[in-house]
A and B are shown apart, each in its own frame.
Chain A
Amino acid sequence: MLRARVVKKLGEFALDVALEARGASTIALLGESGSGKTTLLRLLAGLLDPDSGRIELDGVVWHDGMRRLDAWQRPVGYVAQDYALFPHLTVEDNVGFGLRAEHRPASEVRQRVAIALDQLGIRALSHRRPAQLSGGQQQRVALARALVLEPRLLLLDEPLSALDLQTRRTVRGELHRLLDSLSCVTIYVTHAPAEAFAFGDLVAVLAHGHIAQIGTPDAVRAAPASDDVAELLGLDVRG
């Protein structure tokens, strides 16, 4: 179970968000660019420190006034918008990077990397470097790299936005099946309402650093909390 309340001021922008999610669920975080989506993910991942607040997962405190776990100490899987694959490493070494950082035995690394590559259907790309991959392939490598560590919290930052329309259609189905098979909390950041409704067990609408509405996709779609939310969801606000 994820419980987070974070407050962060960055210049003129202020983020103040409270989130709660049970295991094996996906929160789709929907918002326009500049609404604070990526900042929230970075705060949860430990790449940025909140000014105040508390982050707790499965009873373990990651951040509060007294305690702070560094990013590398948090069981997080983070897939950045542009994937950030290490350009000097092959696909295999990218996927095995985290396991090696955890000092796992070489045989375990090999085995778990092979399973992750098979799961994402990229075994044939093992020895290629990121520059030799298409956008869709890079996305799969980034997912494999995050999932091989069996994270308790998976953070996906606009995972489909860097893909062309055709690849996006193919990948979307695969990603859906993958997320359904996971047993961790997933936060799926997007600016596209269709993606939020398709992927989220809950949809949280983020506007100007605050959650304007949170609920099941049906509930949010049926009763947007405000005209702004309705507009963001692409719904007709005239009636």
Chain B
Amino acid sequence: MSRTRELATRAALALGAAAMLMLLIVPIAALLLRVHPGTLFERLLEPEILAALRLSLVTSVSATFLVVATGLPLAYLLARRQFRGKRVLEVLVDLPMVLPPTVAGFALLLAFGRAGLTGRALEAFGVSLPFTTLGVIVAQAFMSAPFFITSARAGLAAVDPRYLDAAATLRASELDTFFRVVLPLSMPLLVAGAAMSGARALGEFGATITFAGNLPGVTQTMPLAVYVALQSDLDSAIVLSVVLLAIAFTLLFWLRRTAGGGAFVAARASR
């Protein structure tokens, strides 16, 4: 009886897992099966595709820098300080992860558009965001920030307080301690968060098209170019999709391989 039950459990597990794997793998396989290696490189060098690729790389790398530079202080506050309204702030930080991207783009327009909340003030400084490359960067940063902040916050919070105490009794101010102890010890999770954030920025579509439009060479990133190509030039759509897929896969694979780098942070758990 128990043998039968064990077999049934195994079968159910295998079936469930296989169904999910099918769902994940079949679309990717379908995409890859449509690619002809010869045409892949040929199409890749076409000016429109190169322009979209270049724009995507420039904007997603810029967005990631923006997210790291401004997200790190916020992640530090959330990880190391107790203050009123912290819960609300945490929810606000996570919000873009679950917000429909078109809603995010619309909100960005209302905030930074010409007739928006801060549009006039920005224009007075000669800054215009909607339908510009800078707007793409802002939209990508908005959508990808939670990925970095969540990971960075976990990394910063996991640094063993013993090391902070030791630094304090060794004449190190909080700023010194941050740069010489906290930052190096939480580096694996900071890098992982930045990589996830970069990958999310690279794949951003909805907020970008709503806030920055779809202007080739200016705001038309790779996901937008895929969307346009789908309606007219299927081969281009396939090439762009495969490139996006390859970048995303490489990033995630690299993250998995370097996940062991979190040893210092994990050391806390062994106390």
Contacts and interface: CB of A to CB of B under 8 A. Distances in A.
Interface in B142-170: 160, 162-163, 165-170
B116 interface: no
A42 B164 CA distance: 13
Contacts of A62: none
A102 B171 CA distance: 6
Contact of A71 (B162, B169, B267): B169
A86 B181 contact: yes
Contact of B180 (A87, A97, A145): A97
A72 B173 contact: yes
A86 B167 CA distance: 9
A145 B166 CA distance: 10
Nearest to B165: A47
A47 B168 contact: yes
Given A72-B173, A87-B267, A97 B162 contact: no
Given A87-B267, A98-B171, A101-B171, 19 more contacts: A70-B173, A71-B168, A72-B168, A72-B170, A72-B171, A78-B166, A84-B166, A85-B166, A87-B264, A88-B184, A97-B172, A100-B180, A101-B170, A101-B172, A101-B173, A101-B176, A102-B171, A145-B170, A146-B169
Interface residues of B, number: 19
A77 interface: yes
A82 interface: yes
A46 interface: yes
A29 to B, nearest CB: 17
Interface in A80-120: 80, 82, 84-88, 97-98, 100-102
22 contacts: A42-B165, A47-B165, A47-B168, A72-B168, A72-B169, A72-B170, A72-B172, A73-B171, A74-B169, A76-B169, A84-B162, A86-B167, A86-B181, A87-B264, A87-B267, A88-B184, A88-B264, A97-B170, A101-B167, A101-B170, A149-B170, A149-B171
Contacts of B173: 70, 72, 101
